[in-house]
Structure 1
């Protein structure tokens, strides 16, 4: 059970300020000749208590190498936030965002809208993939102290499960600019999707 302790602390994640102005076509890092559409990516930005980006790194798939890092450099310089808070005081936080550059005439894919994928045998309702946005309060050792749902899905049972699942997964330890571990408020989007192999008993 999640328990009441999961909701005891008062905390909020960083909130982006005008993210539509952070990146432009000139920031595209280049593609292989003949490419018509770029696979969307997702990055995590570490935000300090003043609302400035302190670090940035890709989330999940890193197979496309140099795509994320030039973009991350730009985001660290340009992004601005209302900082995370804990008990009303500014705190360190982690904010994730989807990026979708496209070139040529190909149709770009939708932005990567999740940080964690949970494969399941079946889903309630129509069985469509469901995303749940959560915020976690994480201590200096990377242990989750509290979790709350900020973007519910269409199924309450999945909202409850999202915090349970995310709390069992490792959380990256956040450090300040001097390299010292700090408490932080981390945003995550948990996606529940039917695994075809499990659904058919393979």
Structure 2
């Protein structure tokens, strides 16, 4: 019973922090379209010939000057060579406008995206980098059953706050899935977003949760 109570506490904390929006971080704006950073010619020859393929999701740590300084694979393509090649190319080619805090000071920020490596039956290469709408949230703790990012679709009505959030790919945790939908609904209900909305729309988001490890004194 104690373990179950503890899990409920973690879930409540996760939902509360996300609902308050305390952990939403600014996202760097690319200086060039992400789909231009990697192309078919970058497909490793051996990987294409052996028809290695997969979808990967990455995170770039962007320094205050807009340069990526670290690449992390959040979801592997299941092929180390493809993951490694993606990070090498992203660090070389991705550039961003500096992100600034509320005082106008440039700060470090994260950018996430998706790359699909596809190889045809004849060994032809097809790379499809994309940058879906993403939301990265930092929380104090994660449920034990959380496996990875949530992919959710939110439909927003015209003007009024009529929203419908649908989970397309679960994180493995019902609490995290619900928290992701609550945060997307909160974004859709923002007065600025409502004012700019001219018609009903449906958008897909990838929502990631992570914890910040306190620095050791």
TM range (shorter): 0.5 to 0.7
Within 5 Å, which residues of 2 pair with 1:50-61?
50-61=65-76
Q: Which residue of 2 aligns with 1:47?
A: 62
Q: Which runs of 5+ in 2 are unaligned?
A: 1-14, 142-151, 157-162, 167-177, 184-205
Structure-2-length-normalised TM-score: 0.50
Give the drift of 1:14.
Answer: 1.0
Counterparts in 2 of 1:2 and 1:172: CA distance versus 1, 3 Å: closer
CA 24–41 in structure 1, closer or farther in 2 if over 3 Å, else same: same
Matched, 1:154 2:168: no
Contact 2:56 2:73 in 1 (8 A): yes
| RMSD of aligned Cα (Å) | 4.4
Gaps of 5+ in 1: 115-131, 145-150, 174-179, 182-202
Match of 1:93 among 101, 109, 127: 109
Report how many aligned residue pairs link the two structures: 149
TM-score (norm 1): 0.53
1:93 Cα shift?
1.1
State how far apart, in whole Å, the 1-side matches of 2:113 and 2:127 are.
Answer: 15
Runs of 4+ in 1 over 6 A off after TM superposition: 106-114, 163-168
CA-to-aligned-CA distance 1:37-92 (integer Å, 9 cap, x gap): 72221111111111100011211236322211122111111100123332143211
Please say which structure displays the higher CA radius of gyration. 2
Does residue 69 (structure 1) correspond to residue 84 (structure 2)? The answer is yes
Q: What is the CA-CA distance between 1:163 and the residue it aligns to?
A: 7.2
Compare 156-165 and 82-91 and name the one that shifted more.
156-165
